[in-house]
Structure 1
Amino acid sequence: MLIYQRSLGGRQFDYVAVAEYVARLNKVLGPGNWNYEVLKCHVQPEYKDSVIAHVRVTATIDGDTSSKEQYGGAKIKMMKSGGVMDLGNDFKTAVSDAFKKACQGLGIALHLARSEEALTLDAEESYPVPQEQWEVFVGNFRGLDDEKKDLFRKWFSSQGLGEKPHRGMEADGFQKAQVEVIRLSFGAEEVPEEELPEETY
């Protein structure tokens, strides 16, 4: 199992990615001898700024079945404007945290205590788009009038990039979306690539 060491907030700490837990389970038990269930995943009603997940991991070893249940959590990330950044990704982070804890209950990576810094790192690494760039993009989009927003939505749908932009999208797709929003904001015309003049040197 690969143990990564990263620096965050001036401190060094170890963590194991979810994929390493899955690989370990597959190697030791076999893909058909374990499974996990998300029993519940919801926004914590008392505070409304955290997601709580309840996960069960079940493993079959030599015909004997053992299950471990654990809870995990994640802070809901907000934009400076006050809107929620990507609630789906926060749910994913909470489920990942609960899954890892349940695996540790089965003896996998038991020596690594899950710290708040490690959880934060997992969440940040799942976002290919940096927060600062995302907030600039959102600000530019909100500056468009309704007609141009509709034009952007139609363009985005035609590109096969998903339902709508989000911080978890691929960086290349996000860069295209950035360019399109800027083009619309300045009222520039889109020139097909085949009509661009050839460069001369």
Structure 2
Amino acid sequence: MNDEKNLVTEEEAAQYRLQYLQKFLGLSEEESRTLVAVLTQSTPKDWIQERPIRGGGTAKYVPGYRFIQKFNDAFGFLWSQEFPELIREGNEVISKGRWSLQVPGRTVTRTHSDGMVETARFDGFSVIKEQYGSAEIKRYAQNIFAKDKKGNTLKDANGKDIIRYKQGDVMDLGNDFKAASTDAMKKCGTELGMFLDVYGTRETAENAGPTDTQLQAFYKRASDISKNEEEANAWAAERLGKPLKEAKQQEVLGLVADLIDIKKEEKK
């Protein structure tokens, strides 16, 4: 049997999507079509930028403010974004993002041809998307010396140059957490169909295997709850339904967060 014959066509899927939006969001057909178009339209070329990636090469991406612009265009400033978990692990920061849209309840009244009036009440509900984002902690590549207003290097009492920031010092941890949170927000946006022509056609970080830093973080957190490497691998395989070596970066980030939560529960 050819499985492709059992797949619905794109036209059928699009029609079903419109009916779903009309039924559960209370939108008209025209409003539903507009919402889908706003979320899934092709990304303007001048919105797409490139950045270097680990291992060499570059990857295309869309800046975070464009996601915010798209959310506002689609949902009229009524959406919300939370970051309930911020984790510093080794030389990486992790942020759990939770995007949500509150759909209010509504009452629909319909009069039938025989004069009977039918009233239906739809309860309100929330649309929620959750994803983990990550960012590498940025550090100074060399010593940064203190300067006066004229740009002259300041000296200490012994005549030595005063170092303001040492090589290897963290530059701005808050900014790193912001980058990780933006990464999480973007991933939530792609779950709504945004910019898939950019993020859906290349191998992104969340689809790649875990980095050595992430695996080290995983085994360290596992050891915190008294699991050796073999036990940690078995625990991960049970959680994921596959060996840890086959896990994606996003999945390993989730495991690290789960281990931290387990440790917190043990301390209570």
TM-score scaled by structure 1? 0.49
